[in-house]
């Protein structure tokens, strides 16, 4: 029997497919018909929107009108608006309107909101035949209205016609952040500014700047210049690179113009291996605490309270003899400089009033914490941990802070990018980590909130046709549109995959002497095994088998499972198509994976793909059989080897697949061979757009049966 034909026999003995759970009570903030009825793809989608019959044709020149004494509230919005109009070749001038003045036409008018009930950072945006009216009660609201207008203008029709609309919008959470680790991998100020630009487009208002980690203390120090000396830093980790106080103040100024506050993090006493070689004593020692207190004072003397009201002290992943003394002293020092304190949780026990940043990978942790302190949610999976595609699913279905809306304690969320492994080309960070598709998906959950939460949907897509599935597929289309509009010249590792269906069979268990590519017909399942073999309908061009089979506790030790997938696609003619194909993808934190396959293979764990009963040959690799690390590589030489594009399924060229006329069968074998394997499979049909970017190929339908 061929290794791909056992499925036929197996299906005959099953009475029914085990379906995924229905969507239950899951609902989105907006009705699906509202989202699909929108003439433009908006992310995050406004809380309330009404589309009008009459729109406004953009003129070649216009006036930006600001009411009375609103200049201080509208400066950032006007600055952004002028740049937006200039990019569209529209000339403009700015007029401050006195009470008795008439509004000149054509114009974009910024004025105070009519409603005192409009929430903080909220805005009203109206586009009609008379022009554009923006109303808000604060600077943030005016700025965010312009960013919504940016998205609408990017999708105008050939006649420069903007759709008429009446939008009232506000955020579900007050703190909406992005964190970048520049302690391990330094990035230049221009690179960070470019990130702030786009983060502000999606209404992020916080940049968490991780300035220190084991390789280096990146901020300038005048009192302890040895902290900036390359000889006291990790070789190969940008040892000559620091941020001067002028750099820090400039980035804060630039961020403020985009309504973004910066939270600098000086991680202590953990994540600080540079410290003892530099000073000759540990951070938690009396001498070390005195040094840190002076460093806190120095930073606060250089950067004002208004520029930096919160300082993050880290405090995670460390064991010291005096935890209470250490955190109490460092907290007191920050507070004595008029700042609020933020720390990681889990970490050293936070002092009262400290903001806690939740990072434990556990959706129930928020409910189990006993601290009365305010908190920020970062639990959903770091951008450098999960594979690129499944992160978008996780962020879309996450309920930030385990609440529909924020409050005085549940402040919001911060999505984190920790490229632990040394990065050679820093421009590749958004390619190897899904910085932009991940952040944009996170912005939707942060701004809109999630009324309901089904934790399993963060790992296993709901069945096609359910409300939850329909909403995810709709969001994928908006995300794809933004990829074309705003990221066509940048790394954006994502293609919609929610429309794919498979029949999954297994797991089947190998006996002691079985090879990973042995054919199975179900007889090798041991009596009393944790998971009986089964066949079930599963959704997604990216599948996570551990979660599909019930979680890590249900899997065997040692790992010896194999699952099989079957799907079909119809083609009206013989042709070649392209597809993103991938099996295990290493985390960007510790290199752990079975590595690059041998030439002609797709998976170093023995996975294979068959098209119409013929095995699809894998690529010829640059490093066949290389980069195999089955254990975490933290603090080991392997973590100093930069990743290459062929190590990730989303960053290498899509595969070419030959289809015959009529129905084509796709059959896949996916083994699990070691305990820590990220047991996944990706298959997503793609095609190139006019700019040469790989996009969804909607003409290729992957379905579980011929129908």
pLDDT band at 517 (very low <50, low <70, confident <90, very high): low
Confirm if 603 and 584 have CB atoms less than 8 A apart.
yes
What percentage of the chain reaches a pLDDT higher than 90? Answer: 86
pLDDT, position 1: 32
Where a domain ends, among 169, 203, 238?
169
Span 626-658, pLDDT tens digits: 999 999 999 999 999 999 999 999 999 999 999
pLDDT band at 515 (very low <50, low <70, confident <90, very high): low
470 falls within a domain: no
Confirm if 49 and 165 have CB atoms less than 8 A apart.
yes
Interval 131-153 mean pLDDT: 97
What is the C-alpha separation between 367 and 375, in angstroms, rounded?
Answer: 12
Interval 498-515 mean pLDDT: 84
533 vs 201, residue with greater confidence: 201
316 falls within a domain: yes
pLDDT band at 527 (very low <50, low <70, confident <90, very high): very low
* Residue that is written with structure tokens 């740049």 in the block: 83
pLDDT, position 459: 94
- 521 has pLDDT over 60: no
What is the C-alpha separation between 121 and 143, in angstroms, rounded?
Answer: 9
Are residue 283 and residue 151 in the same domain, yes or no?
no
Span 311-348, pLDDT tens digits: 999 999 999 999 999 999 999 999 999 999 999 999 99
Buried b (16+ CB within 10 A) or exposed e, 159-192: eeebbbbebbbbbbbbbbbbbbbbbbbbbeeeeb
pLDDT band at 508 (very low <50, low <70, confident <90, very high): confident
Are residue 535 and residue 654 in the same domain, yes or no?
yes
What percentage of the chain reaches a pLDDT higher than 70? Answer: 93
DSSP 8-state assignment for residue 320: -
pLDDT, position 57: 94
**Strands 131-136 and 355-358, bridge-based pairing:** unpaired
pLDDT, position 368: 86
Interval 288-311 mean pLDDT: 98
Are residue 195 and residue 154 in the same domain, yes or no?
no
User: What SS3 class is residue 292?
Assistant: helix
**pTM, 2 dp:** 0.94
Are residue 639 and residue 680 in the same domain, yes or no?
yes
Are residue 222 and residue 364 in the same domain, yes or no?
yes
Interval 701-705 mean pLDDT: 97
Are residue 185 and residue 161 in the same domain, yes or no?
no
Structure tokens at 423: 């990065």
pLDDT, position 362: 85
Span 254-278, pLDDT tens digits: 999 999 999 999 999 999 999 999 9
Q: How far does Cα 472 stand from its chain's mean position?
A: 15
Measuring CA to CA, which residue among 135, 137, 138, 159 is closest to residue 149?
A: 135
Where a domain ends, among 106, 138, 169?
169
157 vs 515, residue with greater confidence: 157
Can you spell out the DSSP letters for 108-176?
EEEEE-S-TTPPTT-EEEEEETTEEEEEESSHHHHHHHHHHHHHHHHT--TT-EEEEEEEEE--S-SEE
- 363 has pLDDT over 90: no
Span 563-619, pLDDT tens digits: 999 999 999 999 999 999 999 999 899 999 999 999 999 999 999 999 999 999 999
**In sequence order, what E strands does 6-130 have?**
48-57, 61-67, 91-97, 107-112, 123-128
Are residue 118 and residue 211 in the same domain, yes or no?
no
DSSP 8-state assignment for residue 520: -
Can you spell out the DSSP letters for 206-242?
EEEEE-EETTEE-B--SS-GGGG-GGGS-TTS-TT--
Residue 129 domain boundaries: 48-169
492 vs 516, residue with greater confidence: 492
Q: How far does Cα 426 stand from its chain's mean position?
A: 18
CATH code, domain with 68: 3.30.379.10
- 54 has pLDDT over 70: yes
pLDDT band at 359 (very low <50, low <70, confident <90, very high): very high
Number of domains in the chain: 3
Are residue 389 and residue 436 in the same domain, yes or no?
yes
Are residue 201 and residue 105 in the same domain, yes or no?
no
Where a domain ends, among 169, 189, 218?
169
- 529 has pLDDT over 70: no
- 16 has pLDDT over 70: no
pLDDT, position 132: 98
pLDDT band at 168 (very low <50, low <70, confident <90, very high): very high
Measuring CA to CA, which residue among 145, 128, 129, 137 is closest to residue 81?
A: 145
- 22 has pLDDT over 50: no
Are residue 420 and residue 383 in the same domain, yes or no?
yes
336 falls within a domain: yes
Span 385-402, pLDDT tens digits: 889 999 999 999 999 999
566 falls within a domain: yes
Can you spell out the DSSP letters for 640-672?
GS---GGGSTTTSPPEEEEE-SEEEEEEEEEE-
What is the C-alpha separation between 639 and 633, in angstroms, rounded?
Answer: 6
**Mean pLDDT value across the chain:** 92
Span 430-476, pLDDT tens digits: 999 999 999 999 999 999 999 999 999 999 999 999 999 999 999 99
- 525 has pLDDT over 70: no
- 297 has pLDDT over 50: yes
434 falls within a domain: yes
What is the C-alpha separation between 295 and 302, in angstroms, rounded?
Answer: 11
pLDDT, position 516: 65
353 falls within a domain: yes
Are residue 539 and residue 671 in the same domain, yes or no?
yes
pLDDT, position 456: 93
Are residue 565 and residue 595 in the same domain, yes or no?
yes
31 falls within a domain: no
37 falls within a domain: no
CATH code, domain with 392: 3.20.20.80
Confirm if 338 and 368 have CB atoms less than 8 A apart.
no
């Amino acid at each position: 029997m061929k290794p791909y034909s056992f499925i036929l026999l197996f299906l005959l003995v099953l009475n029914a497919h085990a379906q995924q759970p229905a969507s239950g009570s899951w609902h989105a903030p907006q009705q699906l018909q509202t989202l699909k009825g929108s003439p433009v793809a908006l992310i995050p989608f406004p809380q309330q929107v009404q589309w009008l019959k009459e729109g406004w044709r953009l003129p070649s020149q216009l006036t930006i009108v600001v009411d009375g004494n609103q200049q201080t509230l509208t400066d950032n919005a006007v600055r952004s608006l002028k740049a937006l109009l200039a990019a569209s070749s529209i000339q403009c001038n700015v007029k401050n309107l006195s009470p008795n003045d008439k509004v000149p036409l054509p114009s974009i008018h910024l004025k105070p909101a009519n409603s005192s009930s409009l929430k903080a950072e909220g805005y009203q945006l109206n586009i009609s035949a008379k022009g554009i009216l923006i109303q808000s009660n604060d600077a943030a609201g005016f700025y965010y209205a312009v960013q919504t207008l940016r998205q609408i203008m990017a999708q105008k029709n050939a006649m420069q016609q903007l759709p008429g609309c009446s939008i009232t919008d506000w955020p579900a959470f007050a703190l909406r952040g992005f964190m970048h680790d520049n302690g391990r991998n330094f990035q230049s100020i221009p690179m960070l500014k470019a990130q702030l630009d786009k983060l502000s487009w999606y209404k992020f208002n916080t940049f968490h700047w991780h300035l220190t980690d084991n390789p280096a203390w990146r901020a300038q120090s005048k009192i302890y210049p040895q902290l900036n000396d390359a000889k006291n830093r990790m070789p190969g980790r940008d040892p000559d690179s620091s941020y001067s106080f002028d750099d820090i103040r400039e980035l804060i100024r630039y961020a403020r113009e985009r309504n973004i506050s910066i939270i600098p993090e000086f991680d202590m006493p953990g994540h600080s291996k540079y410290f003892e070689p530099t000073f000759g004593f540990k951070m938690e020692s009396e001498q070390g605490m005195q040094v840190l207190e002076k460093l806190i004072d120095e930073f606060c003397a250089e950067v004002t309270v208004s520029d930096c009201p919160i300082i993050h002290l880290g405090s995670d992943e460390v064991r010291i003899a005096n935890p209470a003394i250490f955190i109490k002293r460092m907290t007191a020092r920050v507070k004595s400089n008029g700042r609020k304190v933020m720390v990681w949780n889990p970490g050293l026990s936070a002092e009262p009033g400290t903001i806690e940043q939740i990072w434990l990978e556990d959706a129930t942790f928020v409910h189990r914490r006993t601290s009365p302190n305010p908190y920020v949610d970062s639990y959903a999976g770091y951008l450098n941990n999960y594979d690129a595609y499944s992160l978008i699913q996780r962020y879309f279905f996450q309920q930030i802070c385990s609440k529909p809306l924020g409050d005085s304690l549940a402040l919001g969320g911060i999505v984190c990018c920790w490229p632990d492994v040394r990065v050679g080309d820093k421009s590749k960070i958004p390619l190897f980590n899904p910085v932009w598709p991940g952040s944009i998906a996170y912005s939707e959950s942060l701004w809109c909130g999630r009324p309901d939460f089904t934790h399993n949907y963060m790992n296993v897509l709901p069945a096609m046709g359910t409300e939850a599935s329909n909403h995810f597929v709709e969001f994928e289309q908006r995300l794809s549109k933004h990829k074309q509009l705003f990221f066509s010249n940048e790394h954006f590792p994502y293609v919609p995959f929610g429309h794919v269906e498979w029949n999954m069979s297994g797991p089947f268990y190998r006996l002691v002497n079985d090879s990973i590519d042995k054919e199975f017909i179900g007889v090798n399942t041991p009596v009393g095994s944790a998971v009986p073999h089964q066949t079930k309908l599963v959704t997604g061009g990216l599948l996570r088998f551990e979660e599909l089979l019930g979680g890590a506790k249900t899997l065997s030790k040692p790992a010896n499972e194999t699952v099989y997938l079957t799907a079909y696609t119809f083609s009206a003619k013989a042709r070649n198509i392209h597809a993103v194909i991938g099996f295990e993808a290493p985390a960007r934190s510790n290199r752990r994976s079975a590595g690059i396959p041998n030439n002609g293979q797709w998976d170093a764990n023995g996975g294979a793909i068959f098209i119409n009963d013929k095995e699809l040959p894998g690529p010829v690799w640059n490093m066949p059989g290389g980069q195999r690390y089955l254990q975490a590589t933290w603090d080991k030489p392997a973590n100093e080897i930069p990743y290459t594009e062929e190590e990730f399924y989303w960053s290498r060229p899509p595969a070419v697949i030959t289809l015959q006329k009529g129905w084509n069968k796709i059959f896949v074998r996916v083994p699990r061979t070691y305990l820590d394997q990220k047991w996944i499979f990706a298959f997503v049909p793609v095609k190139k757009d006019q700019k040469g970017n790989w996009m969804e190929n909607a003409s290729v339908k992957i379905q579980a049966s011929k129908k």
